[in-house]
Amino acid sequence: MTKMAATRDGYGEALLELASNPKVVVLEADLGKSTKSLHFRKAHPERTVSCGIGEQNMLLVGAGLAASGYIPFASTFAIFTERAFEQMRNGVARPNLAVHVCGSHGGTHTGTDGSSAQSIEDLAIYRTLPNVIVMHPSDVVSTKVLTMQLAATVSPSYTRTARNKTPVLYEGRENEIEIGKGIVLKEGSDVAIIACGVMVSQSLEAAEALTAEGINATVVDMHTLKPLDGELVDRLVSSCGAIVTAEDHSVIGGLGGAVAEHLTSNTFAPLERVGVQDRFGESGQADEMLEVMKISAPYIAEAAKRAIARKA
Amino acid sequence: MTSTDELRELARKCRVHIVNMVHRAQAGHPGGSLSEIDLLAALYKTTLRVRPDDPDWDDRDRFILSKGHASPGMYAILAEMGFISVDDLASYRVLGGICQGHVDMKWCPGVDFSAGSLGMGLSFGMGSAIAGRLEGSERQVYVMLGDGEIQEGSVWEAAMAATHHELGNLNVILDRNRIQNDDFCEAQMRMFDIPAKWKAFGWNVKEIDGHNMEEIVDGLNFLQNSNDGPSILIAHTVKGHGVSFMADNPAFHGAAPNDEQYAQAMAELGEVVA
Ligand SMILES: Cc1ncc(C[n+]2csc(CCOP(=O)(O)OP(=O)(O)O)c2C)c(N)n1
C-alpha cells in the first residue's frame, strides 16, 4: 500500500521544527485547525498571532513583523489569501518583505465545500507579483522541506497545500528537494510531463499507463512555479521534444502558463496543458473532481499522446 | 398568523433535516445551522414576502445567508417552505446536487446570493437594497451574518455605507453564537461591545434570545418597522442548539456526527429512526 498523507500536515510539521528559531512567528485567520498551524500555536502561543477572520489585516501584520526582523508564516485557505491580494501586492511584494503565505485547501481537489472554496487561480495571480516565490509541493515530505527552506530566504512567498491525502513520494529523499529546482521522478524520451501538487502522483500513474503502450514519459515535479526551473524545461525540450503540464488549477496563468511563457521565449516544443478549463468547480469528492475537471491520470496520458503527435 | 408553537415545530423539523444532511454527507456545518434555524424558521414563515412557486419573482424580499457554510439550515427551511423538495436535501455536497456545500444562487432555487466567503453578504445586501429603492419598491432585504464573520473588515465598510445611504430597507440578523471555526470568539478575536459598535455606525439595534420564538417574532417586527435607517437584530444563540453534544461545542462547527451520535441526536430531536 502506498503511504498517504496531506501536504498541509507537512506545513504544520515544518512550523513546529522552525520554532527553534525565535524569529519565527505564526499568523492565523481562524483556520489554524485546517491549515495545521495549530500545532505551533499550541506549543508557542506567545509567538502566534490570531488575526480573527481578517485575512487582509493578517498579511500586513506579517509585513510589519518582517520589516522588524521577524519571519512570519501566515496561513488560511488558498482562496481566502486572495482576498488580501492587493495587500500582498503593495504591502508585501512591492517592499520585498519576506512574509510567507501558505494557502491550504487549494484546487478543486479540496472537494465538497464547492466552488467558493476551490481556488483555481491562486498560482496564477501570485506568479504575476515581482519578488514572490510561488510553490505547490506534491507530498507531505517535500512540503515540510520546502517550508523549512523558506525561513532562510529573503523573498516573500506563496505556497499552496492541499486538504486531502496524496501518495508520499519523498520519504528518505529529503536532500533532493530545493526551492526552484524541479525534480525528475521518472526518465523517458518520448514526452515530458511537468506537474505540480496533487497532479504529480496522477502524472506518475499516467506515465505507467503510457509505458504499457510503449510510450516512455519523463515525469517532473515542478514544485516551484516561480522562479521556474527554465534550465530543466530546456533540457526536457531537447530530450523529449513534447511537453505536457498538469495542475489542479486553471490552464490560464499557472504551471501551464509558466511553461508556455518559457517555451515561447526559448526553444519551442509542442505543449498540452492539462488543468481546469476556464470554469468554476462544484461540490464533489476529491477524486470525482479530478474526473469532472478532466485532469486525472487518463486525461494526462491522452494529452501526452496529443503532444507526441504534434512533434514536427 | 402562525403560532409560536407551530414555529417551534417547524424549527424542530428543520433541525432533523440539518442533522440528516451532515450525517449523510459526513461533512458540513451543523453548529451554525442549528443556531440560526429558529430565526430562519420564523423569518420565512412570518416575515419574508417570497413565492416558493416563483422563486425569482422580481419584487420578493431578499434573504442573504452571508455565512454561507451554514447552508444545511437554509436548505432545510427552503424544503419546508416548498422551494425545493425534501428529497433534494439528499443532494447536499453530492456531485451535481442543487444543495452545494455553500449556498449558491446558480444552483438552488430560493437562494439569493452565492456565499461561502465570509464578509460579502452585507455589501451584496446593500446593492439589493439600493435596487429596491431605485425601483420604488417596499421590499426588504435581510442579511444573516455570523459573529465570527463580522471580524471581516468589509462588513464594516458596508455598515458605514448603509447608514450614509440611509438604507431603511436593509436589515441584518446577527447569529451571536459565540463560536467561530477554531474556537470560541473570545479566544480568536474579542469583539467587546457588539451592540455599541453597530450603534456607533448609526444602526438601529435590538437584542433578543435567538431561541425564544416570542422574542424572535418581536425582533422581526422591529426590523420590519424600523425604516429610518438600517437595522440589526442581535440574536443571542447557542451554536449546535437542540443537540446536546453539539451545543456550545466548537468541535461541531464543521464536523459530522458518527452513527452513534446521529442516533442520539435524532432521539433528542424527537425523531424515530427506522
Ligand atoms: C473570508 C473567509 N475566511 C475564512 C473562512 C473559513 N470559515 C468558514 S466558517 C468560519 C467561521 C465562521 O464563524 P461564524 O461567522 O461565527 O459562523 P457560525 O459560528 O455561525 O457558523 C470560517 C473562518 C471563510 N469561509 N471565509
Contact B68, A116 (CB under 8 A): yes
State the Cα–Cα distance between residues B39 and B36, nearest whole angstrom. 6
Contact A307, A285 (CB under 8 A): no
State the Cα–Cα distance between residues A107 and A274, nearest whole angstrom. 13
CATH number assigned to the domain with residue range B4-268, chosen from the 4 options 3.40.50.970, 3.50.50.60, 3.40.50.1370, 3.40.640.10: 3.40.50.970
* pLDDT reported for residue A177: 98
> Which run of H or of E encompasses B233?
strand B231-236
Contact A176, A184 (CB under 8 A): no
From chain A, which residues contact B within 8 Å (Cβ)? 28, 30-34, 38, 50-54, 56-57, 79-80, 83, 112-117, 282-285, 288, 292
Contacts of B107 in chain A (CB under 8 A): 282
Question: Of the candidates B8, B28, B9, which has an alpha carbon nearest to the alpha carbon of residue B18?
Answer: B28
Question: Of the candidates B84, B68, B73, which has an alpha carbon nearest to the alpha carbon of residue B41?
Answer: B73
Alpha-carbon A21 to chain mean position: 25
- CA B252 – ligand 1 centroid, Å: 13
CATH assignment of A4-167? 3.40.50.970
Find out whether the beta carbon of A53 lies less than 6 Å from any atom of ligand 1.
yes
Task: Say what percent of chain A tops pLDDT 70.
Answer: 100
B97: nearest CA partner in chain A = A283
Which atom of ligand 1 has the smallest separation from the CA of B185?
Answer: 16
Torsion of Cα atoms, A87 then A90 then A91 then A96, to 10°: 130
* pLDDT reported for residue A282: 98
Could you report the per-residue pLDDT of B13-46, keeping only the tens digit for each?
Answer: 999 999 999 999 999 999 999 999 999 999 999 9
State the Cα–Cα distance between residues B78 and A118, nearest whole angstrom. 25
Contact B42, B216 (CB under 8 A): yes
Residue with cell 486525461: A299
**Which residue of A31, A35, A37, A53 sits with most ligand 1 atoms within 8 Å of its CB, as the best mutation to test the pocket?**
A53
* pLDDT reported for residue A244: 98
A4-167 with A183-309: one CATH topology? Answer: yes
Mean pLDDT value across residues B146-169: 98
Find out whether the beta carbon of B103 lies less than 6 Å from any atom of ligand 1.
no
State the Cα–Cα distance between residues B269 and B240, nearest whole angstrom. 12
Compute mean pLDDT per 10 residues along chain A, 312 residues long, and list them. Answer: 94 98 98 98 98 98 98 98 98 98 97 97 98 98 98 98 97 97 98 98 98 98 98 98 98 98 94 98 98 98 98 88
Cell of A291: 474526473
- CA angle A32/A36/B238 to nearest 5° reads 40
Strands, DSSP E only, in B97-187? 141-146, 170-176
Contact A100, A55 (CB under 8 A): no
Q: Which residues contact A173 (CB under 8 A, 6 or more apart)?
A: A141
**Burial category of B268 from C-beta neighbours within 10 Å (exposed 0-12, middle 13-18, buried 19 and up):** middle
Amino acid at B41: A
Residues paired with residue A221 on neighbouring β-strands, in sequence order: A183, A195
State the Cα–Cα distance between residues A308 and A311, nearest whole angstrom. 5
**Burial category of A273 from C-beta neighbours within 10 Å (exposed 0-12, middle 13-18, buried 19 and up):** buried
Contact B265, B226 (CB under 8 A): no
Domain range list for chain B: 4-268
Please identify every residue of A annotated as catalytic. 55
Contact A97, A66 (CB under 8 A): yes
3 state DSSP class of B62: strand
Question: Of the candidates B147, B152, B149, B172, which has an alpha carbon nearest to the alpha carbon of residue B238?
Answer: B147
| Chain A interface, best mutation among B74, B100, B154, by max A CB count within 10 A | B100
User: What is the DSSP secondary-structure string of chain A?
Assistant: ---EE-HHHHHHHHHHHHTTSTTEEEEESS-HHHHSTHHHHHH-GGGEEE--S-HHHHHHHHHHHHHTT-EEEEEEEHHHHGGGHHIIIIIIITTT---EEEEESBSGGG-TT-TTT-BSSHHHHHHTSTT-EEE--SSHHHHHHHHHHHTT-SS-EEEE--SS-EE---TT-GGG--TT--EEEE--SSEEEEE-TTHHHHHHHHHHHHHHTT--EEEEE--EEES--HHHHHHHHHHHS-EEEEEEEETTTSHHHHHHHHHHHSS---EEEEEE-S----S--HHHHHHHTT-SHHHHHHHHHHHHHT--
Residue with cell 422591529: B222
> Which run of H or of E encompasses B236?
strand B231-236
CATH assignment of A183-309? 3.40.50.920
Question: Of the candidates A80, A57, A42, A168, which has an alpha carbon nearest to the alpha carbon of residue B117?
Answer: A80
Could you report the per-residue pLDDT of B52-74, keeping only the tens digit for each?
Answer: 999 999 999 999 999 999 999 99
Could you report the per-residue pLDDT of A57-89, keeping only the tens digit for each?
Answer: 999 999 999 999 999 999 999 999 999 999 999
- CA A14 – ligand 1 centroid, Å: 26
Contact A99, A156 (CB under 8 A): yes
pLDDT band at B214 (very low <50, low <70, confident <90, very high): very high
- Residue B52: asked if its preceding bond is cis (omega within 30°), the reply is no
Residue with cell 500555536: A41
φ and ψ at residue A284, rounded to 5 degrees? -175, 160
* pLDDT reported for residue B173: 99
CA-only gyration radius of chain B, Å = 17
pLDDT band at B1 (very low <50, low <70, confident <90, very high): confident
State the Cα–Cα distance between residues B7 and B270, nearest whole angstrom. 16
Residue with cell 451554514: B70
Question: Of the candidates A309, A178, A166, which has an alpha carbon nearest to the alpha carbon of residue A232?
Answer: A178
Contact A75, A31 (CB under 8 A): yes
Contact A55, A122 (CB under 8 A): no
- Residue B27 touches partner A, C-beta closer than 8 Å: yes
State the Cα–Cα distance between residues B50 and B217, nearest whole angstrom. 18
> Which run of H or of E encompasses B234?
strand B231-236
Domain range list for chain A: 4-167, 183-309
B94: nearest CA partner in chain A = A284
pLDDT band at B274 (very low <50, low <70, confident <90, very high): low
Contact A38, A8 (CB under 8 A): no
* pLDDT reported for residue A306: 98
Q: Is the pLDDT of residue B272 over 90?
A: no
Find out whether the beta carbon of B32 lies less than 6 Å from any atom of ligand 1.
yes
